[in-house]
Amino acid sequence: MTIADYTAMADELAKEAGVVDGIHGNFRIHRNRLWKTISHFNLWDLTGKNVLEIGAFYGYTPFVLRQSGNTVTVVEGDDPAVYPLKPLYARRGIEIIFTDLFDSFGNSDIQKHKLPFPDNHFDFITCWETMEHFNFNPVGFVKEVRRILKPGGIATFTVPNCASLGHRLKMAIGRPMGVAISSYYEFYAYKGRFLGWHWREYTLKEFEELFTREQFQIVSAKHLTVFLNLPQKSFIREARHFVIRLACALIPSLGTNCALTVRK
């Protein structure tokens, strides 16, 4: 599927969900990054598998996986923003389960660190640009991913690279590389659980260690370099992206994202 095909499919789904002029804007901003991630993990060719996606949001990946002949389950936080996708999932035979990972894995009782699935259940699990939003110790989550994955099953993960060139440059000039203090005040009285902040980003080596300590086999560990599709392009931004791409081609560890494929 080309990026044009992927975009057209997503636009049609957004029309069906009635979110073209709303939350679908999130997809437009992240479109290139999502397409490149799917291509990196070669999910276009995945077929006949029992697949779980954790934190799909408006990436529309479950629909790509379903139309390729996979059985697909989605785990999401119980966020009303996702509700317009519920009927679309139902029509295509995609199961969606709302669960609060923060309540489960942020609990001091590790016996409650559970995902709502039986042992050795899934052939393939994806969790892309989600773990950086965890404000809890991720060990219990990684243990649970291993428990519900079949022996020999594959899981793919991405997180922002905390050692990226962009982050390093921001730190060098004293700018924040994470959440701005102003946003803490903006959402201080927010009703519900705000999921937008990055509480913990990783280097690729750290990310690998998190999974190897749980006896996962590392199949692939790579850096990706992808950018947001911001609505107003400028010469300065395009020039900056060109320089970053060039630098990352020479030194891959400066890339924007860490991409990990592991096997149980």
pLDDT at residue 229 in the model: 84
The 10s digit of each residue's pLDDT in 201-227 is 999 999 999 999 999 999 999 999 988
pLDDT value of residue 239:
86
Of the pLDDT bands very low, low, confident and very high (cuts 50, 70, 90), residue 174 is confident
Q: How far is residue 8's CA from residue 195's CA, in Å, rounded to a whole number?
A: 28
User: Looking at residues 81-106, what average pLDDT do you find?
Assistant: 94
Contact of 230 with 237, CB cutoff 8 Å: yes
- Domain count across the chain: 1
The count of other CB atoms within 10 Å of the CB of residue 215 is: 10
Average pLDDT score over residue span 190-196: 77
Predicted local confidence at residue 189, as pLDDT: 86
**pLDDT (mean) for 123-130:** 97
Task: Tell me, rounded to whole angstroms, the distance of Cα 65 from its chain centroid.
Answer: 15
Specify whether the CB–CB gap between 192 and 221 falls below 8 A: no
Other Cβ atoms less than 10 A from the Cβ of 100: the count is 11
The reported pLDDT for the residue numbered 25 is: 92
The CA distance from 224 to 205, in Å, is: 14
pLDDT score for 74: 98
Helix (H) or strand (E) holding 71: strand 71-76
pTM of the model: 0.93
What is the rounded CA–CA span in Å between residue 19 and residue 42? 28
* Closest residue by Cα to residue 152 from 128, 130, 125: 125
Residues 226-254: pLDDT tens digits?
888 877 777 888 888 888 889 999 999 99
Share of residues in the chain with pLDDT > 70 (%)? 100
Q: Output the six-digit token pair for 94.
A: 């995609």
Q: CA 62 to CA 56: how far, in whole Å?
A: 7
Q: Which residues lie across from 221 on neighbouring strands?
A: 260
Check whether 193 has a pLDDT greater than 80: no
CATH value at residue 203: 3.40.50.150
| Percent of the chain residues topping a pLDDT of 90 | 74
pLDDT by residue (tens digit) across 133-172? 999 999 999 999 999 999 999 999 999 999 999 889 888 8
Q: Are 154 and 185 in contact (CB under 8 A)?
A: no
**Percent helix / strand / coil, the chain, rounded to 5:** 45, 20, 35
Name the residue range of residue 122's domain: 3-263
